[in-house]
A and B are shown apart, each in its own frame.
Chain A
Amino acid sequence: AQTIHQWPVAEIKAVGSPLSLGCTIKGKSSPNLYWYWQATGGTLQQLFYSITVGQVESVVQLNLSASRPKDDQFILSTEKLLLSHSGFYLCAWSLRGLSNERLFFGHGTKLSVL
Protein backbone atom coordinates (compact mmCIF):
# COMPACT_ATOMS: atom_id res chain seq x y z
CA ALA A 1 0.00 0.00 0.00
CA GLN A 2 1.10 3.52 -0.74
CA THR A 3 2.00 5.79 2.13
CA ILE A 4 2.81 9.48 2.08
CA HIS A 5 4.67 11.03 4.96
CA GLN A 6 5.15 14.74 5.51
CA TRP A 7 7.50 16.40 7.96
CA PRO A 8 7.42 18.27 10.19
CA VAL A 9 3.81 18.19 11.38
CA ALA A 10 4.03 21.82 12.49
CA GLU A 11 6.59 24.62 12.53
CA ILE A 12 6.80 28.02 14.17
CA LYS A 13 9.43 30.16 12.45
CA ALA A 14 10.63 33.74 12.52
CA VAL A 15 10.32 36.09 9.54
CA GLY A 16 13.53 35.95 7.52
CA SER A 17 14.51 32.46 8.69
CA PRO A 18 14.95 29.53 6.28
CA LEU A 19 12.44 26.74 5.82
CA SER A 20 12.54 23.18 4.58
CA LEU A 21 9.46 20.94 4.40
CA GLY A 22 9.65 17.37 3.22
CA CYS A 23 7.47 14.68 1.76
CA THR A 24 8.19 10.99 1.09
CA ILE A 25 6.01 8.57 -0.87
CA LYS A 26 6.44 4.86 -0.40
CA GLY A 27 4.89 2.06 -2.39
CA LYS A 28 4.66 3.83 -5.75
CA SER A 29 7.31 4.03 -8.43
CA SER A 30 7.78 7.36 -10.23
CA PRO A 31 4.63 9.11 -8.99
CA ASN A 32 3.71 12.65 -10.00
CA LEU A 33 4.25 14.85 -6.94
CA TYR A 34 2.65 18.14 -5.94
CA TRP A 35 2.89 20.86 -3.30
CA TYR A 36 -0.24 22.74 -2.26
CA TRP A 37 -0.70 25.65 0.11
CA GLN A 38 -3.74 26.89 1.97
CA ALA A 39 -3.82 30.18 3.86
CA THR A 40 -6.02 30.12 6.96
CA GLY A 41 -9.59 30.27 5.69
CA GLY A 42 -8.35 30.31 2.10
CA THR A 43 -8.54 28.17 -1.01
CA LEU A 44 -6.04 25.40 -1.75
CA GLN A 45 -3.50 26.57 -4.31
CA GLN A 46 -1.14 24.38 -6.25
CA LEU A 47 2.46 25.60 -5.89
CA PHE A 48 4.62 23.06 -7.73
CA TYR A 49 4.45 19.75 -9.51
CA SER A 50 7.05 17.21 -10.52
CA ILE A 51 6.73 14.41 -13.04
CA THR A 52 10.19 12.96 -12.57
CA VAL A 53 13.36 13.20 -10.50
CA GLY A 54 15.17 16.49 -10.91
CA GLN A 55 12.31 18.22 -12.73
CA VAL A 56 10.01 20.64 -10.94
CA GLU A 57 7.50 23.06 -12.48
CA SER A 58 6.27 26.14 -10.66
CA VAL A 59 2.56 26.96 -10.77
CA VAL A 60 2.30 29.92 -8.39
CA GLN A 61 5.11 32.26 -7.41
CA LEU A 62 5.29 32.66 -3.64
CA ASN A 63 9.07 33.11 -3.15
CA LEU A 64 9.35 29.40 -2.50
CA SER A 65 11.27 26.71 -4.32
CA ALA A 66 10.88 22.98 -4.64
CA SER A 67 13.19 20.11 -5.50
CA ARG A 68 12.87 16.42 -6.16
CA PRO A 69 16.22 14.89 -5.23
CA LYS A 70 14.93 11.30 -5.28
CA ASP A 71 12.06 9.50 -6.97
CA ASP A 72 10.15 9.26 -3.69
CA GLN A 73 11.06 12.62 -2.14
CA PHE A 74 9.78 16.17 -2.65
CA ILE A 75 11.19 19.16 -0.77
CA LEU A 76 9.73 22.65 -0.37
CA SER A 77 12.06 25.39 0.83
CA THR A 78 12.93 29.04 1.07
CA GLU A 79 15.92 30.93 2.41
CA LYS A 80 13.83 33.78 3.85
CA LEU A 81 10.36 33.33 5.22
CA LEU A 82 7.71 36.03 4.90
CA LEU A 83 4.66 36.51 7.11
CA SER A 84 2.54 35.64 4.08
CA HIS A 85 4.03 32.13 4.01
CA SER A 86 1.98 31.14 7.03
CA GLY A 87 -0.60 28.48 6.35
CA PHE A 88 -1.03 24.79 5.71
CA TYR A 89 1.23 22.96 3.27
CA LEU A 90 0.15 19.73 1.69
CA CYS A 91 2.12 17.28 -0.38
CA ALA A 92 0.21 15.05 -2.80
CA TRP A 93 0.78 12.36 -5.40
CA SER A 94 -0.96 10.91 -8.41
CA LEU A 95 -0.06 7.97 -10.60
CA ARG A 96 -0.06 10.06 -13.77
CA GLY A 97 -1.42 13.45 -14.77
CA LEU A 98 -4.44 14.91 -12.99
CA SER A 99 -6.65 14.84 -16.05
CA ASN A 100 -7.39 11.18 -15.46
CA GLU A 101 -6.02 10.23 -12.05
CA ARG A 102 -7.02 10.72 -8.45
CA LEU A 103 -4.94 12.88 -6.17
CA PHE A 104 -3.87 11.65 -2.73
CA PHE A 105 -2.66 13.94 0.03
CA GLY A 106 -0.34 13.72 2.99
CA HIS A 107 -1.44 14.96 6.40
CA GLY A 108 0.07 18.38 5.93
CA THR A 109 2.39 20.77 7.75
CA LYS A 110 1.04 23.76 9.63
CA LEU A 111 3.45 26.69 9.35
CA SER A 112 3.23 29.78 11.52
CA VAL A 113 5.58 32.64 10.63
CA LEU A 114 5.96 35.24 13.37
Chain B
Amino acid sequence: GQQVQQSPASLVLQEGENAELQCNFSTSLNSMQWFYQRPGGSLVSLFYNPSGTKHSGRLTSTTVIKERRSSLHISSSQTTDSGTYLCALGSSSSFSKLVFGQGTSLSVVP
Protein backbone atom coordinates (compact mmCIF):
# COMPACT_ATOMS: atom_id res chain seq x y z
CA GLY B 1 0.00 0.00 0.00
CA GLN B 2 0.83 3.67 -0.16
CA GLN B 3 3.65 4.45 2.27
CA VAL B 4 3.04 8.19 2.33
CA GLN B 5 -0.41 9.78 2.35
CA GLN B 6 -0.95 13.51 2.07
CA SER B 7 -4.11 15.41 2.94
CA PRO B 8 -6.00 17.29 1.82
CA ALA B 9 -5.48 16.59 -1.88
CA SER B 10 -6.35 20.19 -2.68
CA LEU B 11 -7.10 23.35 -0.77
CA VAL B 12 -8.35 26.84 -1.64
CA LEU B 13 -7.58 29.71 0.73
CA GLN B 14 -8.40 33.35 0.86
CA GLU B 15 -5.26 35.44 1.09
CA GLY B 16 -4.32 35.88 4.74
CA GLU B 17 -5.80 32.58 5.93
CA ASN B 18 -3.71 29.83 7.51
CA ALA B 19 -3.33 26.27 6.26
CA GLU B 20 -2.33 22.96 7.81
CA LEU B 21 -1.10 20.25 5.44
CA GLN B 22 -0.74 16.69 6.66
CA CYS B 23 1.56 13.83 5.75
CA ASN B 24 1.00 10.37 7.27
CA PHE B 25 3.37 7.47 6.76
CA SER B 26 3.06 3.75 7.30
CA THR B 27 6.71 2.67 7.53
CA SER B 28 9.48 3.49 9.95
CA LEU B 29 10.93 6.91 9.35
CA ASN B 30 14.52 7.97 9.13
CA SER B 31 13.94 11.36 7.59
CA MET B 32 11.11 13.62 6.46
CA GLN B 33 11.41 16.41 3.92
CA TRP B 34 8.93 18.97 2.62
CA PHE B 35 9.10 20.49 -0.83
CA TYR B 36 7.24 23.16 -2.74
CA GLN B 37 6.59 22.38 -6.40
CA ARG B 38 6.14 25.48 -8.52
CA PRO B 39 3.41 25.50 -11.18
CA GLY B 40 6.15 25.03 -13.78
CA GLY B 41 7.30 21.82 -12.07
CA SER B 42 10.58 22.67 -10.34
CA LEU B 43 10.95 21.77 -6.66
CA VAL B 44 12.18 23.90 -3.79
CA SER B 45 13.39 22.32 -0.56
CA LEU B 46 11.41 23.74 2.37
CA PHE B 47 12.36 21.58 5.36
CA TYR B 48 14.46 18.64 6.35
CA ASN B 49 12.71 17.63 9.55
CA PRO B 50 13.08 14.06 10.86
CA SER B 51 11.56 15.01 14.23
CA GLY B 52 10.32 17.97 16.23
CA THR B 53 9.37 21.43 15.00
CA LYS B 54 11.20 23.75 12.62
CA HIS B 55 10.35 27.27 11.48
CA SER B 56 11.15 29.21 8.35
CA GLY B 57 9.41 32.55 7.92
CA ARG B 58 5.67 31.88 7.68
CA LEU B 59 6.21 28.11 7.46
CA THR B 60 6.36 25.62 10.33
CA SER B 61 7.04 21.91 10.02
CA THR B 62 6.26 19.45 12.82
CA THR B 63 7.13 15.75 12.71
CA VAL B 64 5.90 13.33 15.38
CA ILE B 65 7.58 10.00 14.77
CA LYS B 66 5.54 7.84 17.17
CA GLU B 67 2.32 9.11 15.59
CA ARG B 68 3.75 8.60 12.09
CA ARG B 69 2.83 12.03 10.87
CA SER B 70 4.33 15.30 9.76
CA SER B 71 2.58 18.60 9.14
CA LEU B 72 3.31 21.83 7.34
CA HIS B 73 1.67 24.97 8.64
CA ILE B 74 1.43 28.04 6.44
CA SER B 75 0.44 31.24 8.19
CA SER B 76 -0.93 34.41 6.60
CA SER B 77 -1.07 32.83 3.15
CA GLN B 78 -0.17 34.83 0.06
CA THR B 79 -1.09 34.29 -3.59
CA THR B 80 2.55 33.42 -4.27
CA ASP B 81 2.16 30.38 -1.96
CA SER B 82 0.00 28.73 -4.63
CA GLY B 83 1.43 25.49 -5.94
CA THR B 84 1.87 21.90 -4.80
CA TYR B 85 3.35 20.87 -1.47
CA LEU B 86 5.06 17.50 -1.29
CA CYS B 87 6.32 15.50 1.65
CA ALA B 88 8.92 12.78 1.20
CA LEU B 89 9.89 9.95 3.52
CA GLY B 90 13.33 8.50 3.85
CA SER B 91 13.27 5.10 5.51
CA SER B 92 15.92 3.32 7.52
CA SER B 93 15.84 0.40 5.07
CA SER B 94 17.30 2.45 2.22
CA PHE B 95 19.42 5.50 2.80
CA SER B 96 19.40 6.44 -0.89
CA LYS B 97 15.67 6.48 -1.52
CA LEU B 98 12.93 9.00 -0.83
CA VAL B 99 9.26 8.07 -1.19
CA PHE B 100 7.05 11.01 -2.11
CA GLY B 101 3.45 11.65 -1.24
CA GLN B 102 1.00 12.60 -3.95
CA GLY B 103 0.99 16.22 -2.84
CA THR B 104 -1.44 18.90 -1.70
CA SER B 105 -2.41 21.41 -4.36
CA LEU B 106 -2.83 24.83 -2.75
CA SER B 107 -4.54 27.77 -4.39
CA VAL B 108 -4.53 31.13 -2.60
CA VAL B 109 -6.96 33.64 -4.03
CA PRO B 110 -7.00 37.41 -3.41
Contacts and interface: CB of A to CB of B under 8 A. Distances in A.
Interface in A45-104: 45-46, 49, 51, 57, 59, 88, 90, 92, 97-104
A57 B96 CA distance: 10
Contacts of B97: 46, 49, 59, 98
Given A105-B43, A107-B42, A108-B42, A99 B100 contact: no
* Interface size band for A: 20 to 34
A9 to B, nearest CB: 10
A102 to B, nearest CB: 4
B96 A98 contact: yes
Interface in B10-55: 30-31, 33, 35, 40-45, 48, 50
B79 interface: no
B75 interface: no
Nearest to A92: B43
Task: Name the interface size band of chain B.
Answer: 20 to 34
Nearest to B42: A107
Given A43-B100, A46-B98, A51-B96, A99 B41 contact: no
Given A43-B103, A98-B31, A98-B90, A103 B42 contact: no
A1 to B, nearest CB: 14
A88 B33 CA distance: 20
B2 to A, nearest CB: 9
B102 interface: yes
Interface of B: 30-31, 33, 35, 40-45, 48, 50, 86, 88, 90-92, 95-103
3 nearest A-B pairs in the assembled complex, by CB-CB distance: A97-B95, A99-B95, A99-B30
